Amino acid sequence: MEQMTANRLYRVGAVSYVQHDGVAPLPAEIDAYTRRHNGKFPPYIPLPDAATEFDTGGMKGIPWDGRGELPVEVMEYIAEHGTLPRRTTDVEVE
C-alpha cells in the first residue's frame, strides 16, 4: 500500500471525514478503510498548502494556516456540503 504525501481530507463514511498530512502514521479510520478496499485509499479532498481564509457564508472569513487541523466551522461546512468552502489563498494568518 503506497501512502500519499499531501495534506488531504479523506471521506471514510457517508459524512465522516479524516484529515491526514501524508507524513504521520495513518489514522485508524483510513487504515481500516484501506484494509476493507484492497489497499485503496478513500476518496479525498486536497487541502491548500498555504495560509487560507475560508468563506462559510458567515460574517467573517475563517483563517487556516495551511497545516494542522481544519477549524470546526470548516469541518461542519464540509459535512453539510461535501466540499471545502470558497477560499482566498495567500492570506496572512496571525
Do residues 62 and 85 both lie within one domain? yes
Q: How do residues 36-49 score in pLDDT, each as one tens digit?
A: 999 999 999 999 88
Q: Is the domain of 54 the same as that of 84?
A: yes
Same domain, 68 and 89: yes
CB distance 70 to 9 below 8 Å: yes
For the chain, give the mean pLDDT: 86
pLDDT of residue 61: 87
Residues 42 and 53 occupy one common structural domain: no
- Expressed as residue numbers, the domain containing 7 is 1-47
C-alpha cell at 2: 503506497
Q: How far is CA 67 from CA 1, 15, 29, 40, in A?
A: 24, 22, 20, 24
Q: Are residues 52 and 37 in the same domain?
A: no
Buried/exposed code over 36-61 (b: 16+ C-beta within 10 A; e: otherwise): eeeeebbebeebbeebbbbebeeeeb
